[in-house]
A = this chain, B = another copy of it.
Amino acid sequence: MKSFFRKDILEMSGYVPGEQPKEKGIVKLNTNENPFPPSRKIKKYLSTLDIGILRLYPNPESCELRKIIADKFAVKESNVIVGNGSDDILNMIVRCCTDKKKTMAYFDPSYSLYPVLAEIQGTECVKISLEKDFSIPTEIPRKGLDSSLFMITRPNAPTSNSFPKKRIREICSKSKGIVLVDEAYADFAEDDCIDLLGKYKNLVICRTLSKSYSLAGIRLGFAIASEEIISQMMKVKDSYNVNRISQEIAKIAILDNENFERNINLIKSNRKFLIDSLRKKGFKVIDSQTNFVFAAPPGKSGKNAKETYLHLKKNRVLVRYFPGKTTGKYLRITVGTKLELDKLISLI
């Protein structure tokens, strides 16, 4: 039996996404979903949709959607590629740039999917530990900068902090390969790296509608980069990677700036409330630039984090706990509605 599959695949264990409980009435603060609804204009689109068009393939290159994204970021359509979630984008760049003879660098802790994508591709990882305060180390190992691909989550997950833009510039200019800045949470942050795109020809910026646009359910991510990079990514993308309905919903959502900004502001305000409340309870909370917080319960041992996680779970409040020497001291808690956060705080 074993001989049917590649050894790499047989030996790997696969990515484990956050729990998606089937039960109702759970306060779900474990997968960084936006607690507020997406643009109401989507409702009108779906209720008047002629389902006859579903028999036709979608536009393979998502042209209209890419034009809307390009306009928003003041780039050209040829600088944009769209994916079935930003995970699809990350997978494309891994397949474009890496193989068994190359390496892929990333910081630890950051998005736990990166090493899984490298494993599937059979690529060696260069894992660079962040400092104790989750900042980028002063000296970035040469092996990281020599990698064919360097993945950076900014702001970072699960730690919620951002990195100085100066350090991103430094990595772009010193790297021999592509630098992918994963800006899944950038809409909740003080700044982003879009303005660096013109300056570094090895830079790819990745975004998603899952968090800031409340659309994790439709799977829509995109990347912005030079035409040269996008044209290579286009070759490895699945021919019809984004379905008809998701293309349309994404167009509507991106054009509804009012709903977008309202939700972002609500989350920022709830984030402040959550951080303040946790700190009052003695938690160590990292200054968050995202729609979640990374918070360590009082006491030095990692035991407290796991115990708090289990206590909350027993009381139908899900947060995310990542075992491990550093991350095991903390809980990652999504910024929910005021009501959800009240319940969380009352349980702690």
Q: Does A91 interact with chain B (Cβ within 8 Å)?
A: yes
Q: How far is the CB of A187 from chain B (nearest CB, A)?
A: 14
Contacts of A217 in B (CB 8 A): 53-58, 243-245
Q: Is A304 an interface residue (CB 8 A)?
A: no
Contact of A218 among B148, B234, B236, B243 (CB under 8 A): B243
For the complex formed, measure the closest distance between the CB of A309 and the CB atoms of chain B, giving whole angstroms: 19
A46's partner among B28, B47, B87, B102 (CB-CB below 8 A) is B47
Shortest distance in angstroms between A38's beta carbon and chain B's nearest beta carbon? 6
In the assembled complex, the CB of A41 is this many whole angstroms from the nearest CB of chain B, namely: 9
A74-93: CB near B (< 8 Å → 1, else 0) gives 00000000001101100100
Q: How far is the CA of A59 from the CA of B217 in the complex (A)?
A: 9
Q: Most chain-B Cβ atoms within 10 A of its Cβ — which of A14, A48, A217?
A: A217
The one of B14, B36, B113, B246 in contact with A55, judged by C-beta atoms closer than 8 angstroms, is B36
Query: Any chain B CB within 8 A of the CB of A348?
Result: no
Can you list, as one digit per residue, whether each of A216-230 has a CB less than 8 Å from chain B (1) or not (0)?
A: 111100000000110
Residues of B contacting A202 with CB < 8 Å?
A: 4
- A9 — which chain B residues lie within 8 A by C-beta? 95-96, 232, 235-236
Within 8 A of B (CB), among A65-115: 84-85, 87-88, 91, 95-100, 102, 113
A300 within 8 A of B: no
Cβ of A163 < 8 Å from any Cβ of B? no
Total copies of the chain: 2
**A128 smallest CB distance to B (angstroms):** 20
A214-B54 contact in complex given A14-B234, A47-B46, A202-B4, C-beta closer than 8 Å: yes
Interchain nearest-CB distance for A114 vs B (Å): 13
State A38–B244 Cα separation when bound (angstroms). Answer: 14
Contact A5:B96 (CB < 8 A) given known A56-B217, A215-B55 = yes
Q: Which residues of chain B are near A51, meaning CB under 8 Å?
A: 37-38, 40, 42-43, 46
Task: Specify which chain B residues have a CB less than 8 angstroms from the CB of A40 in the assembled complex.
Answer: 51
Query: Is the Cβ of B120 less than 8 Å from the Cβ of A1?
Result: no
Question: Contact between B54 and A218 (Cβ–Cβ < 8 Å)?
Answer: yes
Docked complex Cα distance between A273 and B120 (Å): 48
Which of B42, B49, B99, B238 is the one whose CB lies under 8 Å from A85? B238
Cβ-defined partner of A54 (8 Å) among B15, B38, B240 = B38
Check A3 against B214 for contact (C-beta < 8 Å).
no
Binary CB contact string for chain A from 3 to 17 against chain B (1 if under 8 A, 0 otherwise): 111101110111101
Contact among B20, B48, B97 for A60, CB-based, below 8 A: B20
Report the minimal beta-carbon distance from A178 to chain B, rounded to whole angstroms: 5
Contacts of A14 in B (CB 8 A): 234-236
Is residue A239 within 8 Å, beta carbon to beta carbon, of the partner chain? yes
Which partner residue on chain B sits nearest A90 by CB separation?
A: B238
Q: Which residues of A contact B (CB under 8 A)?
A: 1, 3-6, 8-10, 12-15, 17-18, 20, 28, 31, 33-38, 40, 42-43, 46-49, 51-60, 84-85, 87-88, 91, 95-100, 102, 113, 120, 122, 148, 176-178, 201-202, 210, 214-219, 228-229, 232, 234-236, 238-246, 249
